[in-house]
Structure 1
Amino acid sequence: MNKQNKTEMILKGNIYNVLITLSIPIIINSLIQTLYNLVDGVWVSKISSVHFAATAFVWPVNFLFVSLGIGLSIAGTSILSQLIGGDRIEDTREYSTQLIAITILSSIVFTALGYLISPTIIRLMGGTGDLGLYGNIYLRVTFLDLPFMFLFFNITSIMNAQGNTLAPTILSAISAIINVVLDPIFIFTFGWGIAGAAWATLVARAVLALAGVIMLFTESNKIRPDFRGFRFNKSIVKEIITVALPSSIGQSGASLGFIVLNGFIGSYGTATIAAYAMVNRITSLVMQPAMGMGSALTAIVGQNIGANQIDRAREAFHKALKLTILIGTIGCVLLIAFDEPIINFFMQSKDDISVIELSLTYLFYISLSMPLMGIFSVLQGIFQGSGNTKYSMAMEIGRLWFVRLPMILIFKHLTNWGPTGIWFSMSFSNLIVCLYGYWVYRGNKWQKKVIKTDDECQSEGAFGVIE
C-alpha cells in the first residue's frame, strides 16, 4: 500500500481496520525494543541477581535523558501527521529537517553530560557497593547510544506520521537479532560482564540508526529532509519545542519519580529491586499491543485533526479504547493463570529465592491493572496526536508524584505491608490517572490544533530563519 493510500485509509477507511493495520507493526516494533531489555536482563541475570538489580537501578536515570528524545519524537508524529492531513507535504520536509537537527544536537549534549555525571548520580541515589559499581559501568555505556536512539526515534516518527509503521519494524527486527547474537559473545566470550550487555545494545542501535537514515532518504519516502543550506528556522523550532516540551517534561518528571521510587524499593533490599525489575519487563511485554494501539492513535488523530475531521478522531479514540480494554483483560487473565512458569522462565538465576516470591506477589497486583494501563495508553495517544501534550504531561507526572509516591510513603511508615504497599500503590495510581484523563477528554480542549495554517504562516512570517 503506497503512502497516498495510507493517508486515504487513515482519513476515510474503517476505523477498526486502520487501528489494527497501523498498530500491528508498531506492536511488533515495541516488542522488539522490549526484547532489547529482556534479552539483556536474561543474560545479565545469569551472572547474578545483583548484576540484574544494577540494570534496573540505573534504568530511570537513563530514561530521564531519553525522555527528551521521546518528546521530540511525539512532537514529530503529531505535527507531521497534522500537516499530512492538511495536504501540506512541502512543509513536512522543512519540519522534519529542523526536527532532526534539534535531535542530533541535543543528543550529543546529553551523551556527554550523562557520561560525566553518572558516578555522582548513582552515589546520590544511594547506590553503594557492588550495586553502585555495576550500575555505573552499565549506565555509562548506555549513555553512548543516545545519539543513535534519538535519531531512530525521529525516523520512526516521520514514518509513523505517514502511516508507514512497517519499515521501522523491519529495521528493528534486524537490530534485535544483532543484539541477541552479540549479548552472550560480549558478556561471556569476551568476559566484559554487565558492560558487554550495554555494548551489544549500542552496536545494534548504531546499525539500526544507519539503516534508518538510508531508508529516510530513499525515493519512496515522501518526507525527505533537506539539509542543503541549512539554518535553524525560529518559528518551526518554536512549534516543535512547544509540542515536545510538555511530553519531555512529562517523561522526565516520571523518570525522576521512578528514581525516587527506586530509592523506596531499594530500602527493602536488592531482592525487591530485582523482583520489581523483572515483573516490569514481563508486563511491558504483555502491554505492547495496547501501547501500540495508543501510538497508532497518535497518527490517526493527528491526520484527522489536520483534515478538520474531529468526529472521526473521536470515533478512533472510542474504538481504540474498546480494543485496549479487551487486550488488557486477556493479559490480566494470562499473567495470573501462568504466573509461576512465567517468573521462573525470566529469572534464570536462583541464587535468591525471595526474588521469586516477591515477583509473584507483584505480578498479581500489577496484572489487575492491565486494562487500566491500556486506557492510559489510548488517552496518551489522543492527547499527543492532537499536539496538546500538556495533558499527557499531567497524566505522566500526576500518576507518580501526586498519587503513587504519596501512597507508598503512607504504606511504608503507617502500615506493616512492606513491599506489598508499593505493589498496591502502583496499581491504584493507574486507576486514578485514567479517571483524570477521561475527565480531560470530556472537556474537549484537546481538539485545538497546534500548527499554523498556511495563511497564518504567511501573515506571521512563520518561515523566517534564525540568522
Structure 2
Amino acid sequence: MSRNTSLLLKYLFKQTWPMLVGLFSIMGSQLVDSIFIAKLGAEPLAVVAFSIAIFQVIVGVQVGLGIAATATISTALGENKVNYARYLGSLIVFIGTVIVTLLCLALWFFQQPIILALGATPSLFNLTELYRLPWLISCWLGALLYFGYSICRAHNETLLPGRIMVLTSVLNIALDPLFMFTFDMGLAGAAWASCVAFAIGLVVVFYTLIKRELITFDVLKNRTEQAIKAIAKMMAPALLSQFIPPISAMIVTALIAAYGGFAVAAWGLANRIEYIAIILILALTMALPPIVGNLKGRGELRQILSVVKLACGFVIGIQILLAVIMLGVANPLANALSNNSEIVANLTDYFAFVPLSYAALGVCMITVSVCNALGFATTALFISILRLFLCYLPLLWLGSHFYGLTGLFIGMACGNTLSGIVGWQLFKQQYKRLTTHVSVRSITV
C-alpha cells in the first residue's frame, strides 16, 4: 500500500466511523422504541406503521435538501469561497425550514384522509388524534436537525453529528418510559420523548454551527440567485431519487405477498438484517460526499477517483466477508429469528443468495452518492432509475416466474450485482467527461 493510499484510507476511516456509530445508535433507539410501543398493544403499533409510510415523504425532502447542502457547500469550500459556503448553509436552513413547515401543516390537515387511503380503520383515528401533533413536531425538529448534520458534514465535520446522533438516541431511550408510562401519555409519549431529544440535539448542533461560523446571518445580495439556483439544481433530482426505494419496496413486497404470509414475514425479518449488513455502506455514503465535493472544488480530480476506488474496494471486501459469515450461520440465525419452519426455510434461502450481492449494491450506492457530490444529480437519479427498472425488478420477476420464491431471491442477488456494474460504468463515464472538460478549459485559459 502506497503512502498516499494509506493517508486516504485513514482520512476515509476518520470521516466514516462517527457516522457508523451514529447510525447504530439510531437503529438501537428505534428498536427500543418499538419494544416500548409494543407493550401498548397492536393498535399503537399499527398507527406507527401508517405514520412511517407518511414519514417517508418528509425524509425524502430532508435528504434531498441535505444532498444539495453537502454538494454545494463542500465544492464552495474546495474553491476557497468560505463566505459563500456559509451563506449556502444559511439558505439551506431557511429553505428547508419553510418547505418542511408547509409539509407538516399539510399533513396536519390531511393526515386522517391519507391514513384512511392507506388502509387504516376508523378505530385507529382516536389514537391518531392524540399522536399526530407531537409526531409532526418531532418530524419537523428531526428534519431541521438533519439539515444541521448536512452542513457539518459539508465542512468535513462528522464527529459532531455522530455524537449528537448518539446523544439524541440515548435521550430518546431514557425518556420513552418516562413519558409513555410514568406520565401515562401512551403512544403520544413516545413522540414527545423524540421531540425533547431532537430539541436538545438541535440546540447543540446550531450553537456549534454559529460558534464556529459555519453559517452566517449576513445576506450576500449579489449571490442569492446563484445560490438558490445551485441548491435547486441539486435538490430536484436528489428529491426524486429518494422516492425510488419506497416504490421498489412496495413492488417487491407485492411480489413476495403472492407466496403467502410466511414469505412476507420472512421478508420483513430479512429487511432488518439487510439494514444491519449494509450499515457501513450507509455511513460511507454520508462521509464521502463532502470529501469528494471538496476535492472537486480544489481541482484534485485524480484524488476523487482514488478515494472512490478505495471506498468501493473496502465495501466489496467487507461485504464479501459478511456474506461468508452469514452463510455459515444462516440456519442458526434463521432459527433465532423465528421458530416457524416455513419462515426459517425462506430466510435460509435468502441468506444463501442475497448477502453476497450487497458488495455490488454498495458500489451502486457509492456511485450515486459521489455523482450527487460532484454536482451530477441527474446522473445519480438515472443510476437509481436504471437500478430499479432495468436491473432489479425485471430479474426479480424472472427469477420468481421460473423458480418461485427461491428464484426471486436469486433474481434479487443478480439485480444487485448488475446494478453495481451499471452504476460503476456510468460513474466512470461521468468522471471522464469531468476530467476532459477541466482539461479543455485549462488549455483554453
TM-score past 0.5 threshold: yes
Which bracket does the TM-score occupy, shorter chain normalised? 0.7 to 0.9
Contact 1:23 1:293 in 2 (8 A): yes
Q: Does 1:391 align with 2:406?
A: no
Give the deviation of 1:188 after TM superposition.
Answer: 5.1
Query: Quick one: which of 131, 140, 143 aligns to 1:150?
Result: 143
Match of 2:326 in 1: 335
Match of 1:16 in 2: 9
Three-state SS of the structure 2 residue aligned to 1:156 is helix
Match of 2:156 in 1: 163
Contact 2:364 2:424 in 1 (8 A): no
**Worse overlay, 223-232 or 13-22:** 223-232
Match of 2:270 in 1: 279
Match of 2:293 in 1: 302
Give the deviation of 1:100 after TM superposition.
Answer: 0.7
Three-state SS of the structure 1 residue aligned to 2:102 is helix
**Worse overlay, 398-407 or 308-317:** 398-407
Q: 1:134 to 1:274 in 2, by over 3 A?
A: farther
Determine the C-alpha separation between the residues in 1 that align with 2:129 and 2:255. Answer: 20
Give the deviation of 1:382 after TM superposition.
Answer: 1.8
Query: Quick one: which of 5, 21, 24 aligns to 1:28?
Result: 21
Contact 1:243 1:389 in 2 (8 A): yes
**Root-mean-square deviation over aligned CA pairs:** 3.7
Give the deviation of 1:425 after TM superposition.
Answer: 4.2
Contact 1:64 1:256 in 2 (8 A): no
Determine the C-alpha separation between the residues in 1 that align with 2:129 and 2:390. Answer: 30
Three-state SS of the structure 2 residue aligned to 1:417 is helix
Give the deviation of 1:27 after TM superposition.
Answer: 1.4
Match of 2:404 in 1: 417
Match of 2:443 in 1: none
Give the deviation of 1:216 after TM superposition.
Answer: 1.4
Q: 1:132 to 1:236 in 2, by over 3 A?
A: same
Q: Does 1:175 align with 2:168?
A: yes
Determine the C-alpha separation between the residues in 2 that align with 1:432 and 1:132. Answer: 44
Determine the C-alpha separation between the residues in 1 that align with 2:58 and 2:266. Answer: 24
Q: Percent identity?
A: 21
Match of 1:249 in 2: 240
Letter in 1 for 2:296: I
Determine the C-alpha separation between the residues in 1 that align with 2:130 and 2:330. Answer: 32
Letter in 1 for 2:388: L
Q: Does 1:373 align with 2:361?
A: yes
Determine the C-alpha separation between the residues in 2 that align with 1:138 and 1:333. Answer: 43
Give the deviation of 1:403 after TM superposition.
Answer: 4.1
Give the deviation of 1:233 after TM superposition.
Answer: 2.5
How many residues are aligned here?
Answer: 432
Match of 1:436 in 2: 422
Structure with the higher helix share, 1 or 2: 2
Contact 1:118 1:140 in 2 (8 A): no
Determine the C-alpha separation between the residues in 2 that align with 1:153 and 1:64. Answer: 15
Determine the C-alpha separation between the residues in 2 that align with 1:134 and 1:342. Answer: 36
TM-score scaled by structure 1? 0.79
TM-score scaled by structure 2? 0.83
Q: Please, which runs of 5 or more residues in structure 1 have no aligned partner?
A: 1-10, 450-467
Q: 1:400 to 1:214 in 2, by over 3 A?
A: same
Determine the C-alpha separation between the residues in 1 that align with 2:135 and 2:7. Answer: 42
Contact 2:392 2:419 in 1 (8 A): no
Q: Does 1:66 align with 2:59?
A: yes
Determine the C-alpha separation between the residues in 2 that align with 1:357 and 1:188. Answer: 39
Q: 1:340 to 1:139 in 2, by over 3 A?
A: farther
Q: Residue by residue, what CA displacement relative to the aligned partner does 1:238-288 show, whole Å, maximum 9, x if unpaired?
A: 110101111111002333333444455556566555443333233222322
Match of 1:92 in 2: 85
Match of 1:110 in 2: 103
Contact 1:296 1:381 in 2 (8 A): no
Three-state SS of the structure 1 residue aligned to 2:426 is helix
Give the deviation of 1:303 after TM superposition.
Answer: 0.7
